[in-house]
Chains A and B, each alone.
Chain A
Amino acid sequence: MIATSREIWVYLAASPLLHLTMTLAAYLAGDWLFRKSGQKAIFNPVLIAIVILVSILLATGTSYATYFEGAQFVHFLLGPATVALAVPLYRQFERVRHSGPAIFVALLAGSATAIVSAVLITWLLGAPQNVVASIAPKSATTPIAMGISEQIGGLPSLTAVVVILTGILGSMVGTGLLNRLGVRDGSAQGFALGLASHGIGTARALQVSEVAGAFSALAMGLNGLATSLLVPLLFHLLGQWFWP
């Protein structure tokens, strides 16, 4: 018996196969556009893929939970990929070791700047406390940021989105901005990208050079730690003043 198109849709909409395939295809389309545009920052592959997927899901009335049943297989690989960052870090370890003091100062300055600037601006523009709390840990990698957000009264799933947007923005403007400021050294570029924009910044840094990728992976790891220590402290201090 030949299935009707409605029956096929019912099967596909419920199976993880469709949304897994769509995720990869949307990313390939984004990557193709990015290359076709001569690697213009505005054609960020992750951003294009998200726009394509959200449009399709909204148009077909598919929930995020249904989509995620398929997409979780891609999402899961974030864990092993984070572990894999040990390889470029190991290969560049000699350079990293010689930059100890610079790394320490840049980490403290960058981490505090990321938190205070985000909290201050969202508060000044009148966002409610749970939105401000959700944005405070935005430069840390997704799992760390979600944990911190929950701890200080934010919405972890909103934090996940804000973290991804931060990553996309940083990878779009990062290298152009640093070149303009005269910071052309691969290790400094990588460290700034990884600190401000975690794994998505690191993906961008790996395209610049292996040195940039290694420093970016290091910055991502260190800023995860620094953010989890600094956010509860700074948010508490600023919060006493904002919401007395």
Chain B
Amino acid sequence: MGNRIVLVFTILLACQLAGEVIARLLGLPVPGPVLGMVILFVALVIRGHVPDDVGVVTGGLLQNLSLLFVPAGVGVMLHAGLLVQNWLAVSAALMASVVITIAVTGLAMRWMRGFAAGDEPEGQP
């Protein structure tokens, strides 16, 4: 591996950096890393395949993606008072909204797929 890890990280950071600069130059409401994802995606399309090192390093990073949210989550201690005061409204809204959103999105995808599949013979019983 050696400096290949460094190379892949340089690519990821350069995409993020380019994303941040473009978002600010054009005044886009999208954050730099999301634009960086688009930039890397376009680079992969041009390249035509995922180089092995890029696949290995990004795979390792994404396997541990949820760890990266821990520091921001600990920030819950900053708003303990406000959250306790509004605990019912906040917890009910979050729980109900997440359940409804996941259900509506998943069912919309399935419903739209049903339309598309209706044109094909395997869509019949």
Binding site for B on A (CB under 8 A): 23-24, 26-27, 45-46, 49-50, 53-54, 57-58, 64, 67-68, 71-72, 74-75, 77-91, 93, 99, 101-103, 105-106, 109-110, 113-114, 117-118, 121-122, 124-128, 131, 135, 138-139, 141-144, 147-148, 155, 157-158, 160-171, 173-174, 177-178, 181-183, 185, 187-189, 191-193, 195-197, 199-200, 202-204, 206, 213, 217, 219, 221, 224-225, 228-229
Contacts and interface: CB of A to CB of B under 8 A. Distances in A.
B111 to A, nearest CB: 8
Interface residues of B, number: 73
Interface in B36-55: 36-41, 44-45, 50, 54-55
Contact of A143 (B33, B70, B73, B113): B33
A157 B37 contact: no
A89 B37 contact: yes
Given A64-B74, A125-B88, A161-B76, A85 B12 contact: no
Q: Which of A24, A86, A188, A229 has the most CB of B within 10 A?
A: A86
A24 B49 CA distance: 33
Given A121-B89, A183-B109, A217-B37, A50 B76 contact: yes
Nearest to B13: A80
Contact of B61 (A84, A113, A117, A228): A84
26 contacts: A23-B71, A27-B67, A50-B70, A83-B37, A86-B39, A91-B50, A102-B112, A110-B101, A113-B105, A118-B94, A124-B89, A135-B93, A142-B72, A143-B31, A143-B33, A164-B72, A165-B73, A177-B102, A183-B107, A191-B106, A192-B103, A193-B102, A199-B69, A206-B63, A213-B62, A221-B38
A203 to B, nearest CB: 4
A128 B44 CA distance: 46
Given A79-B36, A80-B13, A106-B109, 13 more contacts: A23-B70, A27-B67, A77-B61, A81-B61, A83-B36, A125-B89, A127-B93, A161-B78, A164-B75, A170-B98, A170-B101, A177-B99, A197-B98
Tell me which of B31, B79, B109 has the highest count of chain A C-beta atoms within 10 A of its own C-beta. B109
B25 interface: no
Given A75-B72, A79-B36, A181 B97 contact: no
A141 B34 contact: yes
A185 to B, nearest CB: 7
Contacts, number: 319
B68 A86 contact: no
A45 B21 CA distance: 34
A141 B34 CA distance: 9
Contact of A141 (B31, B62, B75, B109): B31
A211 B116 CA distance: 19
Contacts of B101: 110, 113-114, 117, 139, 170, 192, 195-196
Contacts of A27: 67, 70
A106 B116 CA distance: 14
A83 B40 contact: yes
A71 B112 contact: no
Contact of A131 (B62, B77, B86): B86
A50 B67 CA distance: 10
B33 A160 contact: no
